Structure formats: C-alpha cells, structure tokens
Amino acid sequence: MDDQLIITIIMFVIMFPILMTAVIMYGGQHSDKLRNFLSLFTVLITFIGVLLLYPEAVSGRVFEYQLFEVLPGLAVSFRLDILSYCLVIISSFVWLLAAIYSIGYMAKEHSQLRYYAVLIFTLGSCLGIFLAGDFFTLFIFFELMSLIAYVLVIHEETAEALKAGYKYLVVTIIGGLAIFFGVIICFEAAGTVSIGEGPLITEASSLAWMAFFAFLIGFGIKAGMFPLHVWLPDAHPVAPSPASALLSGIMLKTGAYGLLRMVFDVFSPELMQAINLHAVMMVLGIITIILGSAVALTQDDIKRRLAYSSIGQMGYVVLGMTVFNEQVLTGDIFHIFTHAIMKSTLFLAAGAIIWKSGIKKVSGMAGLGRQMPVTFGCFTVAAFAMIGIPPLNGFLSKWSLCLGFLEDGYIFFVVILLLSSMLNAMYYLPIILPAFLGKEEIEKDLHVDDEGPAFNINEASKWMLIPMVVLALCVFLFGTFPSNIPFELSNMAAKFLLTGGF
C-alpha cells in the first residue's frame, strides 16, 4: 500500500469516530436501532481500519504527517510507529467489544444517545492521542478525551456520580495544565515538540526537573500513579460498566503511553539515568503496586476492588518503564495489552453480575457462580491471569518483566512482583471461590428491576456475554502460545524504543 493511503487511513481512524458522533447524535434522536447500528458500525469500521495498518506498522517504518500548523513551531501532526500501533490496536479492539456489550447493558438506561455519542467521540480522541506526532497534538487530544470522558463518568447522575465526576474533572484539569507546562518547557528548550526527532531535553538542568515533574504529574494523574490516583477509585466504579472497562482498560493506558513517550522522546533513557529521574518513577511505581493491591483487599464493592486493582497493575507498567532493557520493555508493553484485556473482562463480567442480580458487594456474591457460570467463568479466567497463573497472558507479562528485572539485577522488583501477585490472589479468590462453592444468599441486597417481573438470576443477554467470552479467550490464547501477536508486537516495540529499529 502506498504511503498516501496509509496516511489517509491514519487520519480516517481518528476523524471518522469524531465525525460520526455528530451523525449519531442526529440520527439517533429518532430511532434507537439506528443509533445502536451506527455506533457499532463506527467502531467496527475503525477497527478494520486499524487492522489494515498492520502490515505497514510491523514493517518497521514510521509514518509522519503534518496536518496544519497552528503557530510557528507548533503543528498538528500524526505519527504511526510500532508503539503507537500496539496501543491503537488494543484500544480499537477493546472498544469494539465494549460497544457490543453496551448494546446489551445500556438497553434500559437513560440518556443512551448521550452515552453512545460520547463513547464514539472518546474512541476518536483516544486514537488521536496514540497517533499524535508531537506533544502538542497529544495534549490537544488528551484534553479532549479527558474532558469528554467526564460525561461517561457522571452518566448515572446520582449524587455519588456527580461528586466523583467533579473530583475527576478538577484533577483532569490540573493534569492538563501540568502537561501544558511541560509542553511549554520542551518547546522553549528544543524549539519544537515533535516526537521522533530525538530527545527534546538533552541536558540536565532545573528545566529538565521541572519538565519531568510536570509531565509526571500530568500523565501520572491519568495513569493512576500514586499519589495522583485519588480520583480513580471514585470515578471508575460510578461509571456504567462498559465505560468502566474502557476507563480502566484503555484510558489509563493513555497516561502510560504519555509516560513512555516522555521517557523515550523527551528525555532519553541515558539522561534519565544520569540525573536519577528514573529512581523517582521506580519508587512511585513500587508504592503504587503495593498500595493498589493492598487497599483492594479492603474493598467490598466489586467495582472499587477492580479499580484499586487497576491502580496496582498500572504500577507494574510504571515500574517497567524505568529499567531499560529489551526484556523488561517487552513485558511492559505486553502488560499494557494483557491488562487491557484482563481488566475489561473483569469489568464487563462485574457489570453483567450487577445488571443481572443487582448485587454490587463481593460479600453478597456467594453462590452466584453456579447461576451465572459463563460470566463467572470469564471472570475466573481473567482473575487467574491477573494473579499470574500460567498459561494465561497475565503470567506471560509478569514472567517477561521478572526475567528482565533479573537481567539487570533488580531482584527487589521481582520480590515486589511476587508479593503483589500474592495480594492479587488474596483479593480475587474470595470473589471466585464463594461464587462457585458458597451457599446461596439471594435474599440479601437483591434489588428488583422495576421493569418486568423479577427475573431469575441466569445469564445476561448475548450482547453482553459474547464480548466477555471473546476477551476471556484472548486471555487464554495470548498466554498459551508464547509467540502470539501481541507479544511479538510488544517485542518489536521494545526493540524500536531502545534501538530505533528492529
């Protein structure tokens, strides 16, 4: 395929969802079916577009395209390299499944038009973040995505949701301003903010420290890194479950992507090691891992538990970014893949449980597993992968990380990883085991859906089941065969980041 076509496809996958938002808002006013169809259509076409880019991305070439110049030195430009591609493909894939799931989950909800419109828009802006060719474009799409995702967070419009949404909004704006500060410093230091033209900050100075902390705060807020994670445990649970899956699964990764770009394109790994910036990230990463896993133990609400688990898992990603060898980076990027898949499965399953039975608390889920076997089966597979049990994909990413840590002599990190896996087990097993083996306690906390008769607790609708099963299969597939596509992509991306080619 020639270059012009590639660039057109890149622009297409970003712009198409954003433009279709307007179409959905207009067309969906009159017909629910049309709205659902248009949403699914948009996500599917976007995913196909991303798939079409596969052969070019894995060939190792980098595509850059400048759309227009806003100010002298600042332009809106786009870039596709293997790292972008990794994130783009997992995003569009999970988004597709979440959209299918939404059709089932949101069937009886209010304001569905708003929900679908925002869902599609955030898809476009997420892809814009990953395909951004310079930090200015990244900043634009980052702000857009964060602000519009607010509508997803407050969808339920309960007092709790509004409070969580307000916290999210304030923290997001602070994060946006921090990134703005960082972009200005880079622009002053380097005269440009393009990605891929070599590190923007090349000497250790107070400027470097300021830029580091600005970007760390800005992207760390999004990635849920300690101590900037405070919005996460409130915001992810109050959103509707497919939105939670996307927030936890993909939008956290935008923060991680930003941090990766910061490490490799703003500062180079050598500079970071020279001025010990990576030590800051190491410490924060470790605290995040321990904190996330430990606090998850204390949560009874299943979605809050999953949210804290996300915090812990993102700690792995942050920690992995600080050790610069190929094995660790492969594991790091592969963990982005695996966590996206695992956490989405978990949230979708939790959503199905809540939707069907109204039970939000883990303590009340005893015996449900026998009544919803498929849902809990997917949940179990994903949970085992989180814990790190072979031959699932979570094990593979942790294995890769551990091997890499050992290679560079960071045995302490391996210990931390094992410790957190144990903590993971301690908070996932109490969900799974009583579900399958416990006594039924249906009388507690059952809230009856007003519409229609009180239904039996059996499986959720096929719209909700199929994405879950697909994701669970992915968990299984990408773990069992060591040379699977995401792993290879991660490996290529790691090589690319470290050496510039593969």
Partner 1 sequence: MDLISHFPVILVINLFIFAFAMPLISRRSNNWATIAASFSLILSFAISITLLLKVLDTGAISYYLGGWPPPFGIEFYIDYLSAYMLIVLTGMGLLIFYYGTASLPFEIGRHMVGWYYTLYLLLIGAMLGIAITNDLFNLFVFMEISAIAACAIISIKKDRECLEASFKYLILSAMGTGCYLLAVALIYMITGVLNFDMVREVLVDNIALYPNNVLVALALIGVCFCVKAALFPLHVWLPDAHASAPSPSSAVLSGLVIKIYAIALIHLMFRAFPLELFYQVPLTEIFLWLGAIAMILGSIFAMTQDIFKRMLAYSSVAQIGYVFLGIGLFNPTALLGGLLHILNHAIMKSMLFMIAGIIIYTKGLKKVREFDGMGSQLRWTMTAFIVGSASMVGIPITGGFISKWYLATGAFEADRPFFIGVIIASSLLNAIYYFPIAIRAFLGEPKPENLPVRPVLKHMLIPVVILTVLVFYIGMSPQEVVGILELAIDKLFAQ
Q: Decide: is 280 part of the binding site for partner 1 (CB under 8 A).
A: no
The nearer residue to partner 1, 154 or 341, going by C-beta atoms, is 154
Contact partners, residue 19, CB within 8 Å, separation at least 6: none
> Which of 7, 58, 140, 290 lies at the binding interface for partner 1 (CB under 8 A)?
140
CA-to-CA distance for 483 and 286, rounded, in angstroms?
29
From 2, 4, 30, 71, residue interacting with partner 1 (rule: CB under 8 A):
71
Residue 77 has phi, psi (to 5 degrees) of: -135, 160
Question: Most distant CA pair in the chain: distance in Å?
Answer: 68
Rounded to a whole number of angstroms, the CA Rg of the chain reads: 21
Q: Smallest gap, in angstroms, from Cβ of residue 122 to partner 1?
A: 16
Q: Shortest distance, CB of residue 201 to partner 1, whole angstroms?
A: 14
Contact with partner 1 (CB under 8 A): which of 144, 359, 471, 489?
144
Stretch that binds partner 1, among 98-106, 132-140, 431-439, 472-480 (CB under 8 A): 132-140
**CA nearest neighbour of 348 among 440, 232, 439, 470:** 470
Output the smallest distance, CB 140 to partner 1, in A: 4
Which residue, 87 or 179, has its beta carbon nearer to partner 1?
A: 179
φ, ψ of residue 323 in degrees (nearest 5): -110, 125
Q: Which of 169, 378, 383, 494 binds partner 1 (CB under 8 A)?
A: 169
Which is nearer to partner 1, 89 or 153 (by Cβ)? 153
Stretch that binds partner 1, among 9-17, 64-72, 363-371, 413-421 (CB under 8 A): 64-72
Compute the distance between CA of residue 99 and CA of residue 116 in angstroms, rounded to an integer. Answer: 8
Backbone angles phi, psi at 301, to 5 degrees: -70, 130
Least distance in angstroms from the C-beta of 174 to partner 1: 6
**Sole residue written with tokens 């991305």:** 57
Smallest distance from partner 1 to CB 219, Å: 16
Residues 6 or more apart whose Cβ sits within 8 Å of residue 64: 77, 78, 79, 80, 133, 196
The one among 5, 170, 279, 454 contacting partner 1 by CB under 8 A: 170
Nearest-approach distance from CB 187 to partner 1, in angstroms: 7
Closer Cβ to partner 1, 176 or 388, answer by number? 176
Residue with tokens 């290679």: 407
Task: Quote the crossing angle between the two packed helices 411-437 and 277-297, to the nearest 10°.
Answer: 20
Q: What minimum distance in Å lies between the beta carbon of 74 and partner 1?
A: 8
Q: Compute CA distances 481 → 89, 167, 342, 390, 401, whole Å.
A: 19, 42, 17, 11, 17
Residue 81 and residue 62 in contact, taking contact as beta carbons nearer than 8 Å: yes
Residues 147-166 that bind partner 1 (CB under 8 A): 147, 154, 157, 162, 165-166
Three-state secondary structure call for residue 74: strand
Tokens of 27: 């067309």
CA distance 429 to 424: 8
Q: Which is nearer to partner 1, 188 or 197 (CB)?
A: 188
Least spacing, CB of residue 154 vs partner 1, in Å:
7
Q: Which is nearer to partner 1, 165 or 242 (CB)?
A: 165
Q: What span, in angstroms and rounded, lies between the C-alpha atoms of 482 and 492?
A: 14
Burial pattern 313-343, b for ≥16 Cβ within 10 A else e, equals: bbbbbbbbbbbbebbbbbbbbbbbbbbbbbb
E-strand spans in 302-407?
Answer: none
Q: Give the C-alpha separation, 211 to 245, whole Å.
A: 31
Window 171-210: contact mask with partner 1 (x via CB under 8 A): --xx-xxx-xx--xx-xx---------------------x
Judged by CB under 8 A, the residue of 2, 30, 33, 68 near partner 1 is: 68
Minimum separation from the CB atom of position 160 to partner 1 (A): 13
Q: Which is nearer to partner 1, 146 or 309 (CB)?
A: 146
* Residue whose C-alpha is closest to residue 11's, from 128, 94, 142: 128
Asked whether position 139 contacts partner 1 by CB under 8 A, the answer is yes
Query: Which of 70, 279, 297, 415 is close enough to bind partner 1 by CB under 8 A?
Result: 70
Q: Please give the span between the terminal C-alpha atoms of the chain, in angstroms, as a whole number.
A: 21
Nearer to partner 1, 11 or 184 (CB): 184
- Does 113 participate in binding partner 1 (rule CB under 8 A)? no
Q: How far is the CB of 70 from partner 1 (least distance, A)?
A: 7
Q: Identify the H or E element spanning 85.
A: helix 82-105
Which position among 69, 270, 408, 440 is part of the footprint of partner 1 (CB under 8 A)? 69
With CB under 8 A as the rule, give the number of residues binding partner 1: 30
Nearest CB to partner 1, comparing residues 184 and 291: 184
If the CB atoms of residues 81 and 143 are measured against partner 1, the closer one turns out to be 143
The burial of 114, by beta-carbon neighbours within 10 Å (0-12 exposed, 13-18 middle, 19 or more buried), is given as middle
Residues binding partner 1 (CB under 8 A): 68-71, 74, 136, 139-140, 143-144, 147, 154, 157, 162, 165-166, 169-170, 173-174, 176-178, 180-181, 184-185, 187-188, 210
